[in-house]
């Protein structure tokens, strides 16, 4: 899932004379990119993603972006790189491998532990890749007179179609990029330049008849191959969604508290994947399988400290605890009910409402009914009162 707001850097043109041989420049660019820690690089022209732009507009028109209004804002800037910067002549796409060192799906069996998406278990990739892109951009304009702009995920750039056009991989049926060399695990960045660099031939689709990514999705977020309804996607529900998680998806979320790797991990092309070589992107031990009980006790200060360098920090403590409580409700462990009880008095209605649902899954029917009676007498927030009243907020034994 993309973030919000542009991350754009402009670099001024230098007076250094560029090499006459653009092929040599391209080769030197690749060498420099790899020296800076990029694992793959490709170049495409700005007018190569017309079909992707058409599908994107259809996606927006169908409301598949949910509450991500920033996706729908100024679509002309997204569907064609020239809509974002009219001077662009070449798009340089770069990838950094973040392949995990273990099976990302194994954590789903540990129901009292939290599943955090692979990409968020290490440092925030935005900062790392942005620094590398800036360094490569500086090298480029020092070697060949040009203007450049640098983009890292959060700008109005369709990274995945551009990456396919630049031969880094192809968009699979789950709409994510798949690489023959790195499988599903690539962070992407882009450099727009006024240089006319030699282009790559676009990668072709290698999915064939496989539908593993579609079949594994817990919430049926793919209405058809190559089409995603973000409103049903666990990554959207646990990260982008600001309100209560819709009831129809709560059970399916299981213990996933930030993002979901199911469709990525299911891809057979991962048999060629390699473990990422960047230590700062590697999983921190404390984020591999943290105990739900410990996460439920985080106040705002402790939350910020634990996730200081992680993408998780951007959803804030309240949304994070909402997700943790959904996982607690799905744990099947009645001892975790105490954590939910304690959070019934949390200052955030979002947290209190999720605590109600968690208790409804873990405590006996009579006990829950008594708690509801007392809670409705003192709960001021209508959304939380609705959680208490909801028919689904009862224990399995009632």
The span from the CA of 172 to the CA of 365, in Å, is 45
Domain stops at, among 193, 208, 240: 193
Give the model's pLDDT for residue 16.
Answer: 37
Range of the domain at 298: 292-398
Residue 182 lies in a domain: yes
Give the model's pLDDT for residue 391.
Answer: 55
205 given a catalytic annotation: no
The span from the CA of 97 to the CA of 71, in Å, is 25
Residues 189 and 40 in one domain: yes
Residue 137 lies in a domain: yes
Annotated binding site for cob(II)alamin: 78, 153, 177, 188, 235, 260-261
Give the model's pLDDT for residue 282.
Answer: 85
Residue 254 lies in a domain: no
Give the model's pLDDT for residue 20.
Answer: 53
Residues 49 and 175 in one domain: yes
Phi, psi (rounded to 5 degrees) for 40: -155, 155
Domain stops at, among 136, 164, 193: 193
Residues 13 and 150 in one domain: yes
Residue 75 lies in a domain: yes
Annotated binding site: 78, 153, 177, 188, 207, 210, 213, 217, 233, 235, 242, 260-261, 263, 267
Q: Which residue has the tokens 């754009």?
A: 8
Residues 27 and 169 in one domain: yes
Give the model's pLDDT for residue 331.
Answer: 98
pLDDT below 70 — which residues of the chain? 1-20, 52-53, 55, 65, 70-72, 77, 391-398
Contact present, 187 and 119 (Cβ < 8 Å): yes
Residues 26 and 173 in one domain: yes
Residues 44 and 162 in one domain: yes
Q: Is the pTM of this model over 0.85?
A: yes
Contact present, 66 and 230 (Cβ < 8 Å): yes
Give the model's pLDDT for residue 6.
Answer: 33
Residue 252 lies in a domain: no
Residue 19 lies in a domain: yes
The span from the CA of 315 to the CA of 244, in Å, is 13
Q: What is the dihedral sign for C-alpha 11, 85, 162, 228?
A: positive
Residues 186 and 300 in one domain: no
Residue 271 lies in a domain: no
233-277 tens-digit pLDDT = 999 999 999 999 999 999 999 999 999 999 999 999 999 888 888
Domain count, the chain: 2
Give the model's pLDDT for residue 398.
Answer: 38
3-class DSSP state for residue 42? strand
Tokens representing 7? 């991350």
Residues 303 and 175 in one domain: no
CB atoms within 10 A of CB 229: 19
Question: Catalytic one among 39, 80, 153, 229?
Answer: 153
Residues 38 and 187 in one domain: yes
Residue 107 lies in a domain: no
The rounded radius of gyration (Å) of the Cα atoms in the chain is: 23
Domain stops at, among 193, 215, 249: 193
The span from the CA of 362 to the CA of 52, in Å, is 45
How big is the CA angle at 125 (ends 348 and 77), to the nearest 5 degrees?
Answer: 85
Give the model's pLDDT for residue 303.
Answer: 98
Q: Which residue has the tokens 């949910």?
A: 66
């Amino acid at each position: 899932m993309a973030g919000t707001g542009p991350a754009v850097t402009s670099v001024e043109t230098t007076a250094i004379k560029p090499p006459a041989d653009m092929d040599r420049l391209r080769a030197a660019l690749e060498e420099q990119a790899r020296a800076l820690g990029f694992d793959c690089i490709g170049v495409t022209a700005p007018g190569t993603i017309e079909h992707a732009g058409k599908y994107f507009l259809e996606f927006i028109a169908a409301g598949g972006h949910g509450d991500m209004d920033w996706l729908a804002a100024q679509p002309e800037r997204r569907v064609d790189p020239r809509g974002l910067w009219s001077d662009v002549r070449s798009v340089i796409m770069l990838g950094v491998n973040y392949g995990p060192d273990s099976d990302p799906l194994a954590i789903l069996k540990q129901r009292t532990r939290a599943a955090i998406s692979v990409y968020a278990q290490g440092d925030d990739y935005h900062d790392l890749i942005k620094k590398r892109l800036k360094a490569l951009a500086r090298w480029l304009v020092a070697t060949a007179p040009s203007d450049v702009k640098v983009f890292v995920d959060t700008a109005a750039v369709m990274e995945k179609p551009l990456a396919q056009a630049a031969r880094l991989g192809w968009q699979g049926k789950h709409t994510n990029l798949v690489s023959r060399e790195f499988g599903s695990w690539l962070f992407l960045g882009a450099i727009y330049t006024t240089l006319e660099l030699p282009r790559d031939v676009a990668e072709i689709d290698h999915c064939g008849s496989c539908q593993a990514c579609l079949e594994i999705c817990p919430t049926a977020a793919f209405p058809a191959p190559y089409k995603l309804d973000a409103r049903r996607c666990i990554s959207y529900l646990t990260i982008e969604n600001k309100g209560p998680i819709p009831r129809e998806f709560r059970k399916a979320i299981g213990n996933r508290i930030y993002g979901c790797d199911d469709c990525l991990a299911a891809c057979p092309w991962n048999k060629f994947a390699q473990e990422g070589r960047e230590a700062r992107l590697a999983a921190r031990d404390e984020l591999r399988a943290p105990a739900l009980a410990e996460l439920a006790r985080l106040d705002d200060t402790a939350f910020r400290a634990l996730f200081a360098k992680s993408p998780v920090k951007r959803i804030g403590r309240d949304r994070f605890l909402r997700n943790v409580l959904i996982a607690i409700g799905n744990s099947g462990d009645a001892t975790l009910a105490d954590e939910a009880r304690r959070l019934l008095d949390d200052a955030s209605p979002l947290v209190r409402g999720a605590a109600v649902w968690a208790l409804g899954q873990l405590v006996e029917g009579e006990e829950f009914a008594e708690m509801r009676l007392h809670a409705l007498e003192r709960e001021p927030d209508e959304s939380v009162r609705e959680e208490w009243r909801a028919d689904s907020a009862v224990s399995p034994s009632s």
